[in-house]
Amino acid sequence: MCGIIGHVGDGDALETLLTGLENLEYRGYDSAGVAVQNGSGIAVQKRSGKVDELKDAVSDVSLEGDVGIGHTRWSTHGPPTDENAHPHTDCTKDVAVVHNGIIENYAELKAWLRDRGHEFTSDTDTEVIPHLIQYYLDDGMTDEAAFRRAIDELEGSYAVAAMLSGEHVLYAARKGSPLVVGIEDEEFFLASDVPAFLEYTDSVVYLEDGDVVVVDGDGVEFTDLDGDPITREPETVDWDPEQAGKGEYEHFMLKEIHEQPTSLAQAIEGRIDPETERISLDGFDPGTFEHVDAVQLVACGTSYHAALYGSLALNQAGVQATALLANEYSVVAPPVDDDTLVVAVSQSGETADTLSALRQANRRGADTLTITNVVGSTAAREADDALFIRAGPEIGVAATKTFSSQAVMLTLLAQRIAADACGHVPADLESLLPDIGKMPDAIDGLLEESAADAIARDYLDSESFFFIGRGLGYPVALEGALKFKEITYEHAEGFASGELKHGPLALVTRETPVFAIFTGQEDEKTLKNAEEAQTRGAPVIAVCPDDHRAVEVADDHLTIPDVDSELAGLLANVQLQLVSYYAADLLGRPIDKPRNLAKSVTVE
């Protein structure tokens, strides 16, 4: 939620800030703003709406300087207005602050500051921070001491960057919201995510909770909240800067759908050997999971659907597994013990609810593992172990390539856990591993021949869209419906095939096309369920191989290659991603920036 960018160094800070905000707009696009040291004080420009509207506003004013901060907002406290946009300033306009997270005690702090003469101009929780800094400056503290004291007053989650008039310095701190530092010779960056400055540097320091940084032209100082020095070593990010751009594609989502052959090839590289039927997962020697009796997978949104896919793969391999919504984990978590493995699945590794579930599992004594895309993320640091999906940066709010990579990695993990914990190689490994190796080429061919654009056009005027699947097709049905609803704004629901007649069939009409996913697992039952909808007028679109019997029955067909049943759903998912994309494009929706949504949900 929300994006922070900061810059210290030679040259024009404004251009860097605006570039960073454009790169971060997937994190929030309700409003945007910048603050720059212009030689005589702090100049602030901010606007509701997207970054382009901010760029239009700053084109008519002078915002020169080599130090600045910027922010793109996803609204939590207060609607998306000019006044609620960041940066926020104090009464004197000598302090500017940008902030991600939620300040839980902001109402008390605001009342306390008002009693001392401070006036507020926004509805946000963030605005108390510059006023607190100003209060402690007026009390005689140094700039750094005033920043530290203000941060110490905050309860809740935050990533904060502050700039004070007259100083070419940025102060920053984090607790519960991501914040990274980029370093390139004598130029320094602050951001909530690496893509903000990836075209300038690939040398990154990931901050941890409780870290405070002071950035000036001479370097970066890392300390804890008490001011004691700490060591934070930079890491090199192996993402290609071009991956953070749209290239020849009109939308990031379409680009990332088409990147799935590459992202999957990266995910499985060096991890499977079909000839020896071996799975080699980085840092997990044979026997690592031999003590595991049960697996709990926790995640949200698309990652939850991947987790559900993984739980079904584990159960099929003989390992007891349950997928749980991370935001419900504190209420419904099953018992854990030393033989329980809790797997947190999060693309960013910063999802607040998933981190909360991970921390609860750690406290309860479970072994923990994260499946994530981001090296150095909070989840990767706080879990006992991490397995990286290597998908590269994903900018579109609607997750595509990361779902495929998560599901494949969870499929491999399921086979490894089963081999270690059950003492035998799962029976289907002989066919599964070669087909996993063929997945990149299979998706590449599917993308070239897909009829998804025609299907989307033919059914565009429907009232509702249903997606059904059985076994490993069920989480794909849920994911297909989620993609459709989040970028088209049309009503869509996913069901287990057998559940269609236990209520949802009452909603079926000629205006409710049913996308039926056939994976090779009890397909006859899924076909029967699809026919039950068809006899009530619903058109059926079969997602299956060309030679499948469902093709003869269905009204339309989206083809997938004939592969192992554990993978067929992932190929079907690519077709459903394309249907969602083309439908949203025909409807003129803002595909990469769907309303009310943001890429990384870093607040609970």
Each residue of 282-296: pLDDT tens digit?
Answer: 888 888 999 999 999
CATH of domain 3-237: 3.60.20.10
Query: Structure tokens of 514?
Result: 């049913």
Active site residue 300: no
In this prediction, residue 354 has a pLDDT band, given cuts at 50, 70 and 90, of: very high
Domain ranges of the chain: 3-237, 252-449, 452-586
CA distances from 379 to 8, 10, 61, 335 (A): 28, 34, 42, 22
- Confidence label for 131 from pLDDT (cuts 50, 70 and 90): very high
In order of 381, 451, 461, 511, 531, the CA distances from 538 in angstroms are: 49, 20, 14, 7, 9
Q: Hey, is 278 helix, strand or coil? A: strand
pLDDT at residue number 602: 60
- 490-521 pLDDT, tens digit per residue, is 999 999 999 988 998 899 999 999 999 999 98
* pLDDT for the residue numbered 572: 97
Q: Is the pLDDT of residue 427 over 90?
A: no
**CA 480 from chain center: how many Å?**
17
For the chain, the average pLDDT equals 90
Cα dihedral: 134, 136, 138, 142 (round 10): -100
Over range 293-321, report the average pLDDT. Answer: 95
Q: Which of 237-241, 253-257, 493-497 has the lowest mean pLDDT?
A: 237-241
pLDDT at 154 over 80: yes
Residue 193 has a pLDDT of: 85
In one-letter notation, the amino acid at residue 185 is: D
- What is the value of pTM for the model shown? 0.82
Is the pLDDT at 69 greater than 60, yes or no? yes
Q: What percent of the chain clears pLDDT 70, i.e. is strictly above it?
A: 96
Distance CA(254)–CA(600), nearest Å, equals: 19
Closest CA to 219 of 194, 184, 252: 184
Q: How confident is the model at residue 112 (pLDDT cuts 50, 70, 90)?
A: very high
pLDDT (tens digit per residue) in 258-267: 999 999 999 9
What's the confidence (pLDDT) of residue 604? 60
- Give the residue-averaged pLDDT of 335-363: 94
| Active-site residue, from 110, 255, 483, 599 | 599
From 308, 317, 312, 307, select the one nearest 279 (Cα to Cα): 317
Indicate the CATH number for domain 252-449. Answer: 3.40.50.10490
The catalytic residue among 2, 50, 300, 593 is 2
In percent, the amount of the chain with pLDDT more than 90 equals 65
- Phi (first) and psi of residue 388, to 5 degrees: -100, 140
pLDDT at 2 over 90: no
Give domain 452-586's CATH superfamily. Glucose-6-phosphate isomerase like protein; domain 1 (3.40.50.10490)
Pick the most confident of 213-217, 427-431, 578-582, 590-594: 578-582
Residue 464 is predicted with a pLDDT of: 96
CA nearest to 209, candidates 256, 176, 253, 169: 176
Note if 2 is an active site residue: yes
Residue 176 binned pLDDT confidence (cut-offs 50, 70, 90) = confident
452-586 matches 3-237 in CATH topology: no
pLDDT at 240 exceeding the cut of 70: no
Higher pLDDT, 237 or 133: 133
pLDDT bucket at 157, cuts 50 / 70 / 90: confident
